[in-house]
Amino acid sequence: MRPVPATVLTNAFYAFYDLHRPVYHAYAQAHLPPEEAQVAVSHLFNLVADNWTTVVAERRPSQWAWKRHTDTVARRSGRTLTAVENASLLHDQLLLNVDQIATVTGTEPAAVTALLSAARREVRTGRARPRPWTAAARPTVATGPGWRRTLCLRAAAV
């Protein structure tokens, strides 16, 4: 097999960065003070860049990065959220749809739908824990031609 040119890997990393960074930053801001959120996101993308050839060899590179990001945020905030809580935060607080959540977290849309259903059940039955996140900047989607979407940050009061 021929080696992949470095420019292709570099462009792929920047595409990954441009797609995921706004959501990762908004997620970190929901849990951490602004300076800490910036450090957490920088840490993650340094880790991704250092391991890029390994990351792109993964079946789901987004899942690899999301796991490390949520671990970093949990370590810095002192609180680990469940997958249900994460899906709820991404959907209800950051206003991402199921496909966007699936893309960012590297999971199947059906799994995201199941997590959101579980979150709604927890709220209805009164088993939901209080939301641990703070008001955050919401990433919104600026739609482009076809399937391409660019996530942009929009500061919003919650």
The predicted pLDDT at position 131 comes to: 54
The predicted pLDDT at position 22 comes to: 97
Below-70 pLDDT ranges, the chain: 1-8, 126-158
Query: Angle at CA 92, nearest 5°, toward 143 and 45?
Result: 65
The predicted pLDDT at position 7 comes to: 66
| 3-state helix vs strand vs coil in the chain, percent to 5 | 65, 10, 30
The predicted pLDDT at position 124 comes to: 76
Contact 40, 156 (CB under 8 A): no
